[in-house]
Amino acid sequence: MVAGLCLHVMASGAIVQNHARDPSSGFHTTSDVHLNTSADSNPLLNLLTNSLVLHQTIPYLPISSLLNLAAVSPSFRDLLLYRTPGVFRHLDLTRIKIGHGSEVWPSVHLDESITEDDFYSGPLRRVFQNIRRRDILHSVQTLVLDGLSVTAEFCNEILVDPTLRVRILSIRDVKNLNERKLMQSLRYACRLSRPEDTPRLKALYVFGPKDAPALPTPPLIARQHGAARRGANISIGWNHKSQHALNASIQSKGDDWYHRKGRMIGKHIAEPWAETLLDCREVIKFDAVLCTSPRHQNSSAFGKVPVTPRGGAGSGTERPWSVATFALGGCASCGTAPEGFTVYGESPPEDLPLLAPVPLHSSTIKAATCPKPDPGSEGPHKFIPRCLECIRERYCFSCDQWWCEACYQVPSRQELSGQLVHIVGQINGVAEHVESIAVELSNVKVRKGYCLDCYPTSAEPKLASRHLLLPP
């Protein structure tokens, strides 16, 4: 109901009229005011004066719409800018048009005095200056910059600027971000000798994909495009329908670390992130957590169960820490894991990941880490966070079963090669060829990413006919 109301607000031509674009700000400025906005005669103002409705509605509205409303009407201005302190608490800049790099900086401006940071964060800085001028930046507690051009220097300023109060920052899928510089800034901000009450930032969304936008319904979009682009509209419509279906499925089943099993983070994670998460552990939360397998020093089971050493060329040494990219359920044999589950409500708060989407109606860590209620299952919300290296040859990518270190030792390459059988074919008493095959290894639970139940049977004849030779 609230989303429907928002669409009405944005779509209503009666509210904002004759606006012109101010090219320097990215916002609309209104040149003509047509509104009679006393609360008695304006039903929208009347409705928004109800603080519950206002607070539920505001986060769905782009800042440009709010500023336009405030610009056209003293009553709205009074309500939005003066009487409602939290109105700009949640600032999502992904919905306003911000130029990127060269679109905004013509080549004539590219002299040597412009730094890389000026170039890539220039457009966003201008929007920020504009918001700061209007004296609303200091009330922003949740800042969403997903998908924009955001440099590490810009993030560092958000971290250290004493006039800002950003507690939750989302920079997923951003462009031009030097992650190593960002990691340095984060580790410095969380150093032991940091000043009291710093940093203000408590949550950083950086690993997951950006949230799916709350889109208008397909018919509205289709109307805007007209009949001439019918073919294109059909595909747009379908994209929107799938987006809505996806949103609906996410909302009903949950798509977070607790509800989904399997790969949670698809993108490559640079190695220093694990150490960054560890260094920031008490201070800043992330939308990822460390792998808790007994291979790693941060695990409660470290050194308590035997782990198969990583053999073979190129595997390098054991990593002391690693960012988890998979969420698992309990082991198929014992129902748990040597390190146990990460349990919402029981595990230390530092062990809980931030969950997507970024909370709209609150800027607290509690809201950002609280899993959706799941009517289909009883008991606490829990999962086992693991990195790929720690589930290799233990996890079935088809059915999500896995076997833990306490229940299953992955055979080493030596053990596997020791089970080769050499067959000497003889025709007329003369050795014709030698063929090696692997006997069925009864103790192997996962082969090539599949458990024995899921292993594609079509692969078997191929293996046999290829005269499979296991590498030594």
Contacts to Zn ion by CB under 5 A: 291, 293, 322, 331, 333-334, 387, 390, 396, 398-399, 404, 407, 451, 454
Q: Please, what is the minimum distance in Å from the beta carbon of residue 455 to Zn ion?
A: 8
Q: How many whole angstroms separate alpha carbon 454 and alpha carbon 471?
A: 24
Beta bridge partners, 385, equal: 327
Q: Please, what is the minimum distance in Å from the beta carbon of residue 291 to Zn ion?
A: 3
Q: Considering the complex, state which of residue 203 and residue 407 has its C-beta at the smaller distance from Zn ion.
A: 407
Q: Enter the tokens of residue 223.
A: 């109307």
Q: Considering the complex, state which of residue 35 and residue 274 has its C-beta at the smaller distance from Zn ion.
A: 274
Q: Considering the complex, state which of residue 197 and residue 453 has its C-beta at the smaller distance from Zn ion.
A: 453
Strands (E) in 107-190, as ranges, are 142-144, 168-170
Q: Considering the complex, state which of residue 212 and residue 452 has its C-beta at the smaller distance from Zn ion.
A: 452
How many whole angstroms from its chain centre is CA 302? Answer: 28
DSSP assignments along 242-302, one per residue: HHHHHHHHHHHH--STTT--EE---S---THHHHHHHHTTTT-EESS-B--STTSTTSTTT
Q: Considering the complex, state which of residue 297 and residue 398 has its C-beta at the smaller distance from Zn ion.
A: 398
Strands (E) in 290-353, as ranges, are 326-328, 342-343
Q: Please, what is the minimum distance in Å from the beta carbon of residue 398 to Zn ion?
A: 4
How many other C-beta atoms lie within 10 A of the C-beta of residue 391? 22
Q: Please, what is the minimum distance in Å from the beta carbon of residue 413 to Zn ion?
A: 20
Q: Please, what is the minimum distance in Å from the beta carbon of residue 462 to Zn ion?
A: 19
Q: How many whole angstroms separate alpha carbon 350 and alpha carbon 289?
A: 9
Give the residue carrying structure tokens 């320097």: 24
Q: How many whole angstroms separate alpha carbon 339 and alpha carbon 350?
A: 16
Q: Considering the complex, state which of residue 151 and residue 322 has its C-beta at the smaller distance from Zn ion.
A: 322
Q: Considering the complex, state which of residue 178 and residue 409 has its C-beta at the smaller distance from Zn ion.
A: 409
Strands 420-427 and 28-30, sheet pairing: unpaired
Contact 60, 48 (CB under 8 A): no
Contact 437, 468 (CB under 8 A): yes
Strands 203-205 and 168-170, sheet pairing: parallel
Q: Considering the complex, state which of residue 199 and residue 385 has its C-beta at the smaller distance from Zn ion.
A: 385
Q: Please, what is the minimum distance in Å from the beta carbon of residue 395 to Zn ion?
A: 9
Q: Please, what is the minimum distance in Å from the beta carbon of residue 416 to Zn ion?
A: 20
Q: Enter the tokens of residue 67.
A: 């500023």
Task: Give the up-direction half-sphere exposure of residue 315: CA atoms within 13 A in the CB hemisphere.
Answer: 11
Q: Please, what is the minimum distance in Å from the beta carbon of residue 307 to Zn ion?
A: 10
